[in-house]
Structure 1
Amino acid sequence: MGFLDNLKAKLSPAKDKVGDLAHQHGHKIDQGLDKAARTVDQKTKGKYSDKIESGTKKAKEAVERLSHKHDEGGTKHDEGGTPPGTPGGTPPGTPPAS
């Protein structure tokens, strides 16, 4: 087993824990990101507003992706796909397309 394989195996439990926490506390994380963005924007007197807004949006999207890797039952979703039953996803019980 190579170095990266060992590293991935050791980090997997941490990644799962982060996903669970993001799922449970996503709203609070979003509020914290908004508060931090407002503070930085005020301190820079609006000079970097567009960059701050863009960075905040990307951070929120990352938290959203982490939180949706686990559904209510605690099962993982495919990393690249949309969970079934979510907007843009396949509704539960729908047969696969052929």
Structure 2
Amino acid sequence: MGIGDKAKDALGGEKGEQASDAGLDRASDMADEKTGGKHGDKLDQARDAADKKIGNE
């Protein structure tokens, strides 16, 4: 079992899903702020793709 599998197992519950969503939101918001809002649509797409990979909803 690799580190990715362990992380996915840890995030498997509802509490993990909420934590991963909150972390992805913070990262996306920070990146959007740093780029002056110029790449918001791309950041949203990246956030959604990451959520599909690690999330369970």
Common fold: TM-score over 0.5 = yes
RMSD (Å), alpha carbons: 1.8
**Percent identity over the alignment?**
30
TM-score by length of 1: 0.48
Q: Which has the larger radius of gyration?
A: 1
1:62 paired to 2:18: no
For structure 1, the residue ranges without an aligned partner over 5 or more in a row are 1-12, 69-98
Q: Could you tell me which amino acid in structure 2 is paired with residue 21 of structure 1? A: A
TM-score by length of 2: 0.77
Question: Which structure carries more helix by proportion?
Answer: 2
The runs of at least 4 consecutive aligned structure 1 residues that moved more than 3 Å come to none
Q: Which has the higher contact order (CA 8 A, sep 6+)?
A: 2
Query: For the residues of structure 2 that align with 1:55 and 1:19, how far apart are their CA atoms?
Result: 18
For structure 2, the residue ranges without an aligned partner over 5 or more in a row are none
Q: 2:30 maps to what in 1? A: 39
Residue aligned with 1:23, SS: coil
